[in-house]
Amino acid sequence: METRGQPPRRIKHAVILCHPDPNSFNAAVAKRYCTTVEAMGHEVSLRDLYRMRFDPVLKAEERPTASDFMLGGDVAEELAILSGAHIFVFVYPIWFGLPPAMLKGYVERVLGAGFSFRSAHDRTTHPFLTGRRLLSFSSSGTSRPWLEEQGAWTSLRTIFDDYLRRAFSLEGADHVHFASIVDGLAPRYVEEHLFEVEQTARALCAKVSQPVSP
């Protein structure tokens, strides 16, 4: 319940971009999403992992089951930045059928901080992800049918989106994929995809009209 006299708390989006090229299609997707939700009156925090030089390597003492468990300073700082986020957005390319290793490391070190396999198995309430939403924007140089033929698309959805949704007790895990993203794309083709990003962002903002309880 909001305190009388104080404005309602704005819905916060945490956008996690994982691509080494700051001028990539993925970067453009993240930018369009951010500008759209800000125009809708929502708050957004962009976490550009490559620009941050994020270290994806899990340290021994960061393992949730470690007897000397301790968060790294960079992880604690990242968790503070993510605090209060209601919607988490992944933006990444599919490489060899999987998200980039840096994004997987972000899940392990940050989103999974202090949350063990036992917690996931027992459906333990996640300290800040339970009831939140996950939205993914991915891209590939190949076609969607080819990914499906290789089993990569189904596997990705199962071991990444669906698993994270169940493990972290997320309210939902939606996924928008852009296929055949290669160098030299026609500007009109790129803009069509970015318009889809904008429409997706607007629809999600409209759907989540009230933030979930902290």
Q: Does residue 134 have a pLDDT over 80?
A: yes
Chain-centre distance of CA 73, in angstroms?
21
Tell me the sheet residues that pair with 43.
Answer: 12
121/26: higher pLDDT: 26
Residue 119: predicted pLDDT: 83
Q: Mean pLDDT over residues 55-79, rounded?
A: 92
- Average pLDDT of span 194-208: 95
* Residue-level length of the chain: 214
Q: How many helices (H) and strands (E) does the chain have?
A: 9, 5
User: Residue 1: pLDDT band by 50, 70, 90 thresholds?
Assistant: very low
Q: Which amino acid is at 170?
A: L
The confidence score (pLDDT) of residue 2 equals 47
CB 40 within 8 A of CB 205: yes
pLDDT exceeds cutoff 70 at 6: no
- Closest C-alpha among 165, 166, 183, 187 to residue 174: 165
Residue 122 has pLDDT above 90, yes or no: no
Domain ranges of the chain: 12-207
What is the fold, at CATH topology level, of the domain defined by 12-207?
Answer: Rossmann fold (3.40.50)
Tokens describing residue 173: 């895990």
0.85 surpassed by pTM: yes
Query: What tokens appear for 15 in the block?
Result: 């956008």
